[in-house]
Amino acid sequence: MTRTTLVCATLLALAMLSCSPSAKTGKTVVSLAKYREHHLKSLVDDLRSPITAQDLPHIEFYPENKAWKFTCTCDILQGEKPFELPTYSGITRTYIRYATANCKYKTKPFKVTLYKNLTQPSNPLYSDHLFLPFKDHTNGEESYGGGRYLDLKATDIIGGSITIDFNRCYNPWCAYSDGYNCPIPPRENHLEISVEAGEKNYHGPHKERSEVKK
């Protein structure tokens, strides 16, 4: 079996997994396999992406572990001022601290901050988006040294709580190539635990991108 055939077979197998409705919220809950299949397809299809179909066999994930899916108490922040979040390319992006979530892994509590990007295009698809960049003790060994990301929505905050599934965390494009504006996780989201969930370190050929888009 060729590498391209293997990639296609893998994506097809993942695509066959269906979505299921949530009994609590009535929303459609996308299975982890379906979520990862969509993530990989988006990487390949995006013309700006450093990843091609030939690179997909080098992208690995931890097996799903439900211990890394938390229902956390969530506080929406008031009176926060916009700030400039640095990226690994040297430029900054304007964000605001939107909410904090208090979670617990086994017996160890930890807190993360969720951010809203104020420099995204005025697109209704992004109006609800919350960004969770973080670092943890797996960085540089099992996972990308620059940290990983999670995408959430403001509407995910229901009744003062939010579900955060670290199985869905992914690498920034900087894990695959130089030349991208990847936000650096703020110090308040440097977790003193090993998040053995989500995307692992990329072991494929590291690319170089000469032009950095502003």
Q: What is the DSSP string of 71-97?
A: EEEEEE--SPPPEEEEBTTS-EEEEEE
Q: What is the pLDDT along the chain (214 residues), one digit of tens a residue?
A: 443 333 444 443 433 333 344 444 444 467 999 999 999 999 999 999 999 999 999 999 999 999 999 999 999 999 999 999 999 999 999 999 999 999 999 999 999 999 999 976 566 667 899 999 999 999 999 999 999 999 999 999 999 999 999 999 999 999 999 999 999 999 999 999 999 999 999 999 988 875 544 4
User: Is 0.85 topped by the overall pTM?
Assistant: no
> Mind listing the pLDDT tens digit for each residue in 101-158?
999 999 999 999 999 999 765 666 678 999 999 999 999 999 999 999 999 999 999 9
Longest dimension (CA), the chain: 57
The single-letter DSSP state of residue 210 is S
- CA dist list (Å): 136 to 10, 82, 85, 119, 139: 29, 25, 19, 26, 6
Burial call 6-16: b when 16+ CB within 10 Å, e when fewer: ebeeebeebee
